[in-house]
A and B are shown apart, each in its own frame.
Chain A
Amino acid sequence: MIEIKNLSVSFNKPILKDINLTITKEKIHAILGPSGAGKSTLINAILGVCTINSGEILIDGRNYLNVPIYKRDFGYVPQNLALFPHLSVKENILFSQKIKKRVDKILFDKLVQKAQIASILSKYPNTLSGGQKQRVALLRALIKKPKLLLLDEPFSALDITLKKEMWELLKELQSEFGITTLLITHDLDEARYLANEASILINGKIEQSNRVDKIFDYPKNIKVARYLGFKNIVKSKAISSNKLYIEQLGRSYEVAYSLIKNKKYNVLIKSEAICFTKEKNAFFINPKVYELNRYKEVKFEINAIAFEVILGKQEKVTNYVTFLPNNFILLNE
């Protein structure tokens, strides 16, 4: 298990604030966050290339904070891939093994075959395509079977087709070799596809850490919900231990949570909680429907509050809408 405890980094102002993170062995943990959240600083801090103000990096209980980078036994794929331009593909991949003077030919052949790059081994990085470069960078980091593989948005420059190919390759190799991986990304689809667990980093602070599906299903607070793209957040007040009154809608709803009477709650009304109906006692709306790829985006307003819903192509949109309180999510500030 890899644990990051109370990690803080500042350059004139705080960049990372008291980061606590647990990465389960042999799993992919995604760090999601907007630009400038401190994602790359976090990876630099773990790598040991930036000065840490306080904190610990524990791998199987051993603190790595004072271990030099070259002894940390991490694999690293930076955003620009950092392939060595004066070395061939083969020399790039075997770099770590040549340093250690232990070349594992069987492992090399196996990785090359899986990544389907046998034909480019003698080529130099400047002659490779984007996808080939990604494969080489990934293999170079994986061949040393690192204790922790750090990926800093390595697929961000690829088009969607290549990106999916790389996701599949990464997933296959990572699960086969059981390499614990920390993936920095701002691509929600990438995190959903690749990661087992995720943390949301906003303004240098981990806002939520959990299994990926849990995070996407149950964002903890307004910042996380907004970052994940949720729109329908309304204010409400508990009028009993299980009833919320949403003033903007002028209605109360019975929920499955136990509430503190008179306390104010932020409510996230996810698409699943919005139901189009023909019942006349529901809210009347003038829906605007936008065709997305395999979905429909429906926008409407109730009492000047804007709502957005993503529906399947087959789902029908009507002029009446009701809310299903069992799918309401309560958010902290």
Chain B
Amino acid sequence: MQKSFIGAAFVILFFYGGLIVSIFYFFDFGSFKEAMSSSRVLFSIKLSLISATIATILALLLAIPAGYVLSKISFRGKELINSLLEFPMVVSPAALGAIILIFFNNPFGEWIRNNVYNFIFSFGGIILAQFITILGVSVRFIKTAFDEVDSNLETTAQTLGATPWQSFYKISLPLAKNGIIAAAILTWAKALGEFGATLMIAGTMPFKTETLPIAIFMHLQMADIKTTVSLILILITFGLGSLFLVRWFLHRGLK
């Protein structure tokens, strides 16, 4: 039994590994160098890195307190919020983007567009699309990180005179730190690869809203396979690099 199960695990390696390796069939170093010096591609990379970083910071600002209360405190509506965290995962990103688009066409959404910020076809739209896509998963990861921290530690800290706020940042936060960093990297990688919702809200405008995944889509549409492969490789490098970093942080936490 063990052998066949190990076999199943290796199928995963062959499956994903095979897909990655197959890209190299169309890989051409000259085209890669050309892509890397193209201002349009560089803009896409820069836009993706900046928007994913901002979206991740915004998501963390909400996810850290939300993940903490969902993990440690009982309150009315907790179960409902817990179930809604998976909403972006069960609804396709394109549908999620469409929902946001529809929202900005209702009277309240229009008021926001006219008086606060116009998220449609703009840089803010990319961040909003990425933020909404990663928020749920970010809260879920951070909640798990806080779940690992024994609640008795905070109670004990409070008996030693720490206020609830002090017991949070002196005890729970440092103990959940590695989990939070891992969550931040994973959600950042997810934001970087976000496509469907960004496409719906921000569109596909070169030098304006063309993120890396959108650039891949655009170049593939133009049958420019070599540039597409180069862009995919850049995205894979960021993605796999993030995964290795996550593993390193979690492993360090275990130590």
A49, B155: Cβ atoms closer than 8 Å:
yes
Q: Mark A29-51, 1 if CB is under 8 A from B, else 0.
A: 00000000000000000010100
Q: Is B175 an interface residue (CB 8 A)?
A: yes
B233 within 8 A of A: no
Interface residues of A in 176-229 (CB under 8 A from B): none
A68, B163: Cα distance in complex, Å:
9
* B150 contacts A99, C-beta separation under 8 Å: no
Q: Is B144's beta carbon under 8 Å from chain A?
A: no
The reply to whether A78 and B156 form a contact with Cβ atoms under 8 Å apart is: yes
Shortest distance from the beta carbon of A199 to any chain B beta carbon, whole Å? 22
Task: Tell whether B132 is near chain A: CB-to-CB under 8 Å.
Answer: no
Q: Complex formed: what's the CA distance from A69 to B151 in Å?
A: 14
Bound CA span A75–B171, Å: 18
Contact yes or no, B175 A95, CB < 8 A: no
Interface residues of B in 135-187 (CB under 8 A from A): 150, 152-153, 155-164, 166-167, 171, 174-175
- Picked from B156, B158, B161, B174, the residue with its CB within 8 Å of the CB of A100 is B161
Residue of B with least CB distance to A44? B155
Residues of the A chain whose Cβ atoms lie less than 8 Å from the Cβ of B163: 68, 70
Counting chain A CB atoms within 10 Å of each CB, the highest count among B153, B156, B159 belongs to B159
Q: Does A266 contact B (CB under 8 A)?
A: no
Among A76-92, those with CB < 8 Å from B are: 76, 78, 80, 82, 84-86
Identify which of B150, B162, B174 contacts A82 (C-beta below 8 A). Answer: B150
Which B residues touch A144, using CB under 8 A? 160-161
B159→A47 contact, CB < 8 A: yes
Given A86-B174, A86-B175: A95 and B160 within 8 A (CB)?
yes
Name the prevailing secondary structure of the A interface residues: mixed
Inside 8 A of B164's CB, which chain A residues have their CB? 70
Residues of A within 8 A of B174 (CB): 86
Given A72-B159, A82-B150, A144-B160, is A99 in contact with B175 using a C-beta cutoff of 8 Å? no
The answer to whether B162 and A99 have CB atoms under 8 Å apart is yes
Which residues of chain B are within 8 angstroms of A78 by Cβ–Cβ distance?
152, 155-156
Q: When chains A and B are docked, how far (Å) is the Cα of A86 from the Cα of B149?
A: 11
Contact of A95 with B157 at beta-carbon distance under 8 Å, contacts A80-B150, A82-B150, A86-B174 already known: yes
Contact assessment for A70 and B162 in the assembled complex, using a CB-CB cutoff below 8 Å: yes
Q: Does A245 contact B (CB under 8 A)?
A: no
Q: Which of B85-110 contact A (CB under 8 A)?
A: none
Q: Are A99 and B161 in contact (CB under 8 A)?
A: yes
Note all chain A residues with C-beta closer than 8 A to B160.
95-96, 99, 140-141, 144
Instruction: Report the separation of the CA atoms of residues A129 and B163 in the bound assembly, to the nearest whole angstrom.
Output: 30
**Residues of chain A within 8 A of B166, CB atoms compared:** 70, 99
Q: How far is the CA of A75 from the CA of B153 in the complex (A)?
A: 13
Cβ-defined contact, A96 with B161, below 8 A: yes
Residue count of chain B within 8 Å CB distance of chain A: 18
Shortest distance from the beta carbon of B93 to any chain A beta carbon, whole Å = 38
Cβ contact within 8 Å between B157 and A47: no
Q: Taking the nearest CB of chain B, how far is it from the CB of A286, in angstroms?
A: 53
For A80, list chain B residues within 8 Å (CB). 150, 152
Chain B residues, Cβ within 8 Å of A68 = 158, 163
* Residues in B neighbouring A49, C-beta threshold 8 A: 155
Of the candidates A69, A75, A141, the one whose C-beta lies within 8 Å of that of B158 is A69
Q: Which of A69, A85, A86, A100 contacts B159 (CB 8 A)?
A: A69
A39 CB → nearest B CB, Å? 16
Chain A residues with CB below 8 A from B157, complex form: 84, 95
Complex: A82 Cα to B150 Cα, angstroms: 8
Residue of A nearest to B160 (CB): A96
Q: Is A230 an interface residue (CB 8 A)?
A: no
In the complex, chain A residues whose CB is within 8 Å of the CB of B171: 84
Q: How far is the CB of B232 from chain A (nearest CB, A)?
A: 41
CB distance from B26 to the nearest CB of A (A): 49
Residues from chain B with Cβ under 8 Å of A70 in the complex: 158-159, 161-164, 166-167
- Chain B residues near A84: list those with CB within 8 A: 153, 156-157, 171
Whether a CB of chain B sits under 8 angstroms from the CB of A74 is yes
Determine whether the beta carbon of B175 is less than 8 Å from that of A47: no
Q: Is the CB of B156 within 8 A of A82?
A: yes
Task: Find the B residue at minimum CB distance from A150.
Answer: B159
Q: In the bound complex, what is the Cα–Cα distance between A80 and B152 (angstroms)?
A: 9
Q: Which residues of B contact A85 (CB under 8 A)?
A: 175
Chain B residues 184 to 239 lying within 8 A of chain A, measured CB to CB, are none
A and B contact pairs by CB, cutoff 8 A, 16 listed: A47-B155, A47-B159, A69-B159, A70-B161, A70-B166, A75-B159, A78-B152, A82-B152, A82-B155, A85-B175, A86-B175, A95-B162, A96-B160, A141-B159, A144-B161, A150-B159
- List 20 other contacts, CB 8 Å, given A82-B150, A150-B159: A69-B159, A70-B158, A70-B161, A70-B163, A70-B164, A70-B167, A72-B159, A76-B159, A78-B155, A82-B156, A84-B153, A84-B171, A85-B175, A86-B175, A95-B157, A95-B162, A99-B160, A99-B161, A100-B161, A140-B160
